[in-house]
Structure 1
Amino acid sequence: MAVETLGAVQDVDFSMLALFLRATITVKLVMLVLIFASFWSWGIIIQKFINYRKARRDTDKFDRAFWSGEPLDGLYQQLGDNPNGGSERIFVAGISEWRRSHRSDGQMIAGVQQRIDRSMDVAIGRESEKLNNGLTFLATVGAIAPFVGLFGTVWGIKHSFEQIAIQQNTNLAVVAPGIAEALAATALGLVAAIPAVIFYNKLSTDADRIIGDYDSFADEFSTILSRQLDA
């Protein structure tokens, strides 16, 4: 009898596709949601690596131009109205407010330093929002995907026990496929959650480092303009 049971189990297809096709509609929906979340997470991860590499490259390029000794007005004219990198946009925001604060007689409008700082802070805020866009989704997937998978597992096991009660048979050939289908949902939840958590931490650190560079540049630029005002 045991040999017949083992043979029956071995005849069952336990591939992921077969497990998905045999699962109940609820477990199928759970699996589809987790697969979608996993693919979306990887799309965000890859895009963020590309964006962060570009942001660092643009920052290095602008830093070389800014500290080259070229007049700031000349650098501003080169950048024009369409700066590329975050540092360039912060610089343009500050220098634009500097220019708008000149009166017709050549004197400066009162409070120019505060307005310049606020303009650059707004530009930094926009860059921060771009850098962090999508990371919330990674954090959400990392937090809830295991529980979504667990829900699919619980529902699948419930269905398996219902089949046992209906067939009144605890044979391994009856129990094993349903249990395997249920556990596949938990596995997919972990597949979606683990990379999301790892890369969320990595990308959050990278974003904070880039934003820190923007803050440092804004402070240095503000100091330069402050010396000009005092002079």
Structure 2
Amino acid sequence: MTRLVKSCLPVVLADLLSILPATAAGTGATLPSALSPLSMFLQADLPVKIVMAGLALASVVAWTVLIAKKIEIARAARTLSRGLAALAGASGLAEAQRTLRSRDRISAALIEAARDEALRGARADKEGVKERMSLRFGRIEAAAAREIARGVSLLATIGATAPFVGLFGTVWGIMNSFIGISKAQTTNLAVVAPGIAEALLATAIGLVAAIPAVIFYNYLVRQVAGYRAVLGDTVATISVIAGRELDHIPALHRAAE
């Protein structure tokens, strides 16, 4: 992923600069070359350049996370759904395990935990065995949910911070513009405009990075919620199969009443 981000950074920065307006608003007149987005980036101060490059990197990361997590979640949900469909006709844990044939790692782990607790508690109270199964199922389910959601929160971070990072670049650029005005001792628009335009460019790139990141985050959160729903159905199905099997195992020793 790091190699992909580094290779895409120059391209994304050029794209971000190219989509910004290159004509004067409302007049249709072409801006001077000094006020084109690419020229403004090249002529900006080092801190502003760092801000713009960082925002471009954040945009690359956001797109990378979207593509990677979309593929991961879709594949995991599809595998889990197939495993859930295969479990529908299983009458016991052994049959369920044979049906899956290690195609679904999460379901296989749940079945293995259920069989382990059933064997360990063959002479124990069935309610205690079911409770321990439920605890182990909960841990497996929580671990799977954490794994599938890993990286999604990065999009929220980008969406929340990118506008403020861009605003920092804007403030820095405007400060330099005021310094330039004081040195030139003039308020001529030709002197003021380039510095202010460079400053506003940082905010524009920040918004271009932040808005898609927020959209991607909300989309992936819904995808994760859908996966967790299928995961919950799988846990419930295996719990039913395990409970049905436990009901057929005679308890030789029961807890004292």
What is the TM-score of this pair, normalised by structure 2? Answer: 0.77
Distance 1:84 1:189 in 2: 43
2:79 maps to 1:58: yes
User: What RMSD, in angstroms, separates the aligned Cα atoms of the two structures?
Assistant: 2.3
Structure 2 equivalent of residue 192 of structure 1: 209
- Amino acid paired to 1:63: L
* Alignment match of 1:22 (pick from 43, 64, 73): 43
Tell me if the contact between 1:156 and 1:182 (Cα under 8 Å) persists in the aligned partners.
yes
Tell me if the contact between 2:113 and 2:137 (Cα under 8 Å) persists in the aligned partners.
no
* Alignment match of 2:67 (pick from 46, 50, 53): 46
Distance 1:230 1:52 in 2: 36
* Alignment match of 1:95 (pick from 91, 99, 111): 111
Q: Deviations over 1:104-160 (max 9, x none)?
A: 9x9344422122212221111111112211111111111111111111111101101
Q: Deviations over 1:150-193 (max 9, x none)?
A: 11111101101110111112222111111111011001110111
2:122 maps to 1:107: yes
Structure 1 equivalent of residue 247 of structure 2: 230
SS in 1 for 2:34: coil
Could you say if the C-alpha distance between residues 71 and 102 of structure 1 is closer, same or farther in structure 2, counting changes exceeding 3 Å? Answer: closer
* Alignment match of 1:33 (pick from 41, 51, 54): 54
Q: Deviations over 1:72-123 (max 9, x none)?
A: 414424656xx454xx41x32332233323559x934442212221222111
- Amino acid paired to 2:109: A
* Alignment match of 1:13 (pick from 15, 34, 37): 34
Compute the displacement of 1:69 (Å): 4.2
2:196 maps to 1:179: yes
Compute the displacement of 1:70 (Å): 7.1
| 115-124 vs 133-142, which moves further | 115-124
- Amino acid paired to 1:92: A
Q: Runs ≥4 in structure 1, deviation > 6 angstroms? A: none
SS in 1 for 2:35: coil
- Number of aligned residues: 217
Distance 2:191 2:119 in 1: 86
Distance 2:103 2:175 in 1: 56
Which runs of 5 or more residues in structure 1 are unaligned? 1-8
SS in 1 for 2:77: helix
Q: Deviations over 1:184-214 (max 9, x none)?
A: 1001110111011111111111101211221
Which runs of 5 or more residues in structure 2 are unaligned? 1-29, 249-257
Kindly, what percent of the aligned residue pairs are identical?
40
Tell me if the contact between 1:143 and 1:193 (Cα under 8 Å) persists in the aligned partners.
yes
What is the TM-score of this pair, normalised by structure 1? Answer: 0.84
